[in-house]
Structure 1
Amino acid sequence: MPQTTTTTPRSNAREILRLAVPAFGALIAEPLFLLADSAIVGHLGVDQLAGVGLASTILHTAVGLMVFLAYSTTPAVARAIGDGKLGKALAAGRDGVWLALLLGLALAVAGFVAAEPLVGFMGATGDVQQFAVDYLRWSMPGLAAMLLIFAGTGVLRGLQDTRTPLVVATAGFAVNIALNVFFVYGLNMSVAGSAIGTSIAQWAMAAVYLVMVGRNARHHGVSLKPDWHGVRAMTKVGSWLMLRTLSLRLAILATVLVVTAQGAVNLAAHQLAMTIFSFLAFALDALAIAAQALIGKELGARNAERVRELTRTMIRWGLGFGVITGVLLAIAAPWAGYLFTSDAGVRSALTVALWVLAVGQPLAGYVFVLDGVLIGAGDARYLAIAGVVNLVVYLPLLVVIHQTKPDGEAGLLWLWASFALGYMLARGVTLGLRARTDRWMVLGSH
């Protein structure tokens, strides 16, 4: 029978904050890694910064496709916890970790071999191309670690623990900065040093998660050996989430293809703007992570009314948080460029992009929260189909910008208006329509 509990807005707020506040710190670790890399590399020159931006787009396209390792593990573990099945929860987490390791090793080898043709496909030439290849190849040793971090974080989120990932992420960020400065400037290794330092920091973080997941499993009598049926089931569930993520990454890749044709200045400014967007997106995604953990748990406990209350609360919070971050970004936009580059042209173009991004922040807050709610509910098939629809809406906007070829900063202005407003609006409509129904609310553990 469905469970019912008496809740108040204050208790909802406490539950959301208990998970969202630590999740915020953990989520921004990856964009903080990129911000640190951009700040360190940016002072080497425009070509180095543009090369790292291009390589980062390719790297995080591959990594982003694997985010299902966290997004499928969290609700699976949370549902089992809500249904009182701890052993099943830990087994799902273990299988997710094994899948992450296997995928990470395969992608690392493929990425090292294909680095040069991938960068060439993106349209880079000369020094920008060489710097991009160097950064991409030296990032490959850390790729498996990045996927293990996804899986390990997903397990802990499902167990309603977002504080431990915060501690791990904070330590990893500090180590990353120290190593990057040492390799880039101390050993004069340029962009390769930045990639090596980040890879080492990521493996240190992954080791912590491996120890924690293994210790939990052994303590509760769960074997560390993979259940290949469970691994295959995780892959099947994740395939829809991968398609959903693929649509998001294709949108970002298509955007980079358009901005690459606008020249190195706009490409460098776009890389910085996209890094800041990622930072803010992960910050907003803290609410989405809370949604994934809480919605999964309450659906597992068959508490439909609680799910509805949490969804309404988090939508309000997402919109409010988007307004706050938008105002702060608009104020900071004219000065943000000084943190990353000494090139006046890049700073000026970045300011324009950030003002557009600031306007779209409330919409982004709404989108990220509803995305988290539906992921937590395991509504992966709808998310995948909606992602394809959103991409179909967005690509014609990019085609128009590419064909009309607006000059200088105007090109970046229209590009970011299409992405931060047009594309995000399409996502908001498709997610909002789904959330208004009850078809995504499947009760109990699977």
Structure 2
Amino acid sequence: MNRDILRLAVPNIVSNITVPLLGLIDLALMGHMGSEIYIGAIAIGGVIFNFIYWGFGFLRMSTSGFAAQAFGEKNKTETINILARALAVAMFTGLVILALQLPVAWASFKLIGGSEEVELLAREYFLIRVWAAPAALSLFVFSGWFLGMQNARYPMIIAISANVANILLSVLFVFGLNMKSEGVALGTALSQYIGLLIAIFLFLKKYKSLLPRLELKTVFGIKQFSSFFKVNTDIFIRSFCIILVFTFFTSKSASTNDTILAVNSLLIQMLLFFSFFIDGFAFAGEALVGKFFGARQRDKLIKVVKLLFVWGLGLALAFTVVYFAGINFILRLLTSQEDVIQSAQPFIIWVIFIPLASFSSFIWDGIYIGATASAAMRNTLIAATLLVFAPVYFLLNPVWENHALWLAMVLFMFARGAFQTLLFKKAILK
């Protein structure tokens, strides 16, 4: 069982790590531009796309869970129908985002705020990168479907190829063509379409034989779409809670001052960096739990859950040590601005707590997604947001200010895992 977990987890870690590295490189590119406003622009622009893409992250999650269960049932017709159904929704949604890009931009900047200089640059970043929406959402679907088919290697190839292209294009545009935040946005947009072309090529290479099994009547059937949207609605609400918390975090950072915005934007990368490592095991959980759930193999399901938590705890301990010993070294890699580094010192303690506080929430997410236990996952996020994050911040902010924001974030991550632990037997082993 450990071999199966690592077979799926390691390629996902390799592919996932290119995503935070991309974010770190984007911040590093802007961190050496001579002004903190460029860091802020990338941070705010990134938050808007997190809001959009995390909101539609259900396309990857539900596709993974449904495909894994169909794989466990050995239902080849349903596996290809799931892919077609999810791709249709992804392309339609991407086109809607393009059509509504101006009102989305207006509403986003009204909500987040920030200084006039930062907002001007962030708006420019948004209006370039948004053109990648159809490709980005379709990539969610392909990655989730490949994973559900127990194939972690293809998502790794796609992620590495797209993100390496992104890095190279961003460096070319920023240093070769003297562009700034708009160069990073253009590099990101172009790389998404490169990734989509690679995904289509890989699908045709290995899964072309499934195409004759495609049943369009079933793909767009009322019953199938009803089940698809029920699970996706729950996951959307769950994702919306996460988006709300992270958007609130950035918004409150921006409303303090540009220095705190830069500090929090850099430090929150440590949570995102850890998440992409631990998500390798969460994604393995999606595939294996979905397969065993679909095959109705309860004993194997319980065994894989236990092993996932052993791996998750080990990884959390390793990251705690790394952050304790090397956080200032990491900060100096990200920015050369001494005032930002010094301003970050009082808040480093929260970064050290993040891995141990959050690892269980990531592992449980993979388990719940694999079993498509979407309603329970939704409820735990609502509870963590309304009963933990919001009260902690609003009660302590008058005294602790930015420390209250960080404490609320850490407790929010811990509460997610705690609530999911309490609901596991009822939600999945019922």
Q: For this structure pair, what is the TM-score category when the shorter chain's length is used for normalisation?
A: over 0.9
Pairwise CA RMSD of aligned residues?
Answer: 1.9
| Counterpart selection for 2:9 from 15, 20, 23 | 20
Which stretch shifts more, 336-345 or 283-292?
336-345
Q: CA deviation at 1:359?
A: 1.6
Q: Are residue 441 (structure 1) and residue 418 (structure 2) matched? A: no
Q: Are residue 69 (structure 1) and residue 59 (structure 2) matched? A: yes
The answer to whether the 8 A contact 1:55-1:136 is kept is yes
Where does 1:239-250 land on structure 2 (aligned, <5 Å)? 239-250=233-244
Q: Are residue 359 (structure 1) and residue 353 (structure 2) matched? A: yes
* CA–CA separation in structure 2 for the residues paired with 1:352 and 1:365: 24
Q: CA deviation at 1:224?
A: 8.6
1:161 is paired with a residue whose SS is: coil
Q: Are residue 211 (structure 1) and residue 206 (structure 2) matched? A: no
The answer to whether the 8 A contact 2:390-2:408 is kept is no
The answer to whether the 8 A contact 2:114-2:251 is kept is no
| Counterpart selection for 2:312 from 303, 314, 318 | 318
Deviations 1:194-229 (A, max 9, x none): 100011011100122233335655412133968222
Q: Which runs of 5+ in 2 are unaligned?
A: none
Q: CA deviation at 1:121?
A: 2.4
Deviations 1:419-446 (A, max 9, x none): 12x11221122111012x154137xxxx
* CA–CA separation in structure 2 for the residues paired with 1:224 and 1:190: 47
Q: Alpha carbons of 1:138 and 1:429: their partners in 2 closer, same or farther (altered >3 Å)?
A: same
The answer to whether the 8 A contact 1:319-1:363 is kept is no
Deviations 1:42-71 (A, max 9, x none): 212201111111111111111001111111
* CA–CA separation in structure 1 for the residues paired with 2:421 and 2:351: 21
Aligned residue type for 1:34 = G
Q: Are residue 399 (structure 1) and residue 394 (structure 2) matched? A: yes
Q: CA deviation at 1:92?
A: 0.6
* CA–CA separation in structure 2 for the residues paired with 1:157 and 1:43: 37
Where does 1:121-140 land on structure 2 (aligned, <5 Å)? 121-140=111-130
Q: Which of the pair is proportionally richer in helix?
A: 2
Percent identity of paired positions between Structure 1 and Structure 2:
23
TM-score (ref. length: structure 2): 0.94
Q: Are residue 185 (structure 1) and residue 180 (structure 2) matched? A: no
Q: Equivalent residue for 2:248?
A: 254
Q: Which runs of 5+ in 1 are unaligned?
A: 1-11
The answer to whether the 8 A contact 2:68-2:148 is kept is yes
Deviations 1:24-48 (A, max 9, x none): 1122333222112111122122011
The count of residues paired between Structure 1 and Structure 2 equals: 424
Where does 1:257-336 land on structure 2 (aligned, <5 Å)? 257-336=251-330
* CA–CA separation in structure 2 for the residues paired with 1:134 and 1:353: 31
Q: Equivalent residue for 2:69?
A: 79
The answer to whether the 8 A contact 2:31-2:337 is kept is no
Which stretch shifts more, 14-23 or 86-95?
86-95
Q: Alpha carbons of 1:401 and 1:126: their partners in 2 closer, same or farther (altered >3 Å)?
A: farther
Q: Equivalent residue for 1:29?
A: 18
Aligned residue type for 1:386 = T
The answer to whether the 8 A contact 1:29-1:170 is kept is yes
Moved over 6 A (4+): none
The answer to whether the 8 A contact 1:158-1:293 is kept is yes
TM-score (ref. length: structure 1): 0.90
* CA–CA separation in structure 2 for the residues paired with 1:163 and 1:330: 33
Deviations 1:125-145 (A, max 9, x none): 221110111111111011222
* CA–CA separation in structure 1 for the residues paired with 2:94 and 2:343: 36
